[in-house]
Amino acid sequence: MSATILVIAILVSQVLLGGAMCLAGWRLLKGPRAQDRVLALDSLYLSGMLLLLTFGIGSGQTIYFEAALVIGLLSFVATAALAKFLMRGEVIE
């Protein structure tokens, strides 16, 4: 009973997060300007991180937690560096 509930819920949330990644990827490809693409990349990072957490619940192993943590760290660094680049034209002055 609990296995059925969890398998269905994990499937539904994986489909929703996959759809979120598809929409963010569409905005990443289409986005009229560079800042739209950076925002879509940030949203893509977040959806991928939550998808990895959901995947970790589905497999019952905590090893996916570290991958999600690394994705969260890289998301901050990537978006901050790209915003700095959009503002100044270079990352390290």
Partner 1 sequence: MSVFDGLPVWIAVIVAICLVAGAAITFVGTVGLARFPTFYQRIHAPTLGTSFGAFFVIVGSMVFFTALEARPVIHEVLILVFVLITTPVTLMLLARAALYRDRAEGNDVGADMPAAENRSARSDVGDTDQTGL
Binding site for partner 1 (CB under 8 A): 1-3, 5-10, 12-14, 16-17, 19-21, 23-24, 26-27, 33, 35-36, 38-40, 42-43, 46-47, 49-50, 53-54, 56-57, 59-60, 62, 65, 68-69, 72-73, 75-76, 79-80, 82-84, 86-87
CB-neighbour burial class of residue 5 (10 A; exposed 0-12, middle 13-18, buried 19+):
exposed
Q: For tokens 């986005």, what's the residue?
A: 31
* Amino acid identity for residue 47 in this structure: S
1 versus 92: smaller Cβ distance to partner 1 = 1
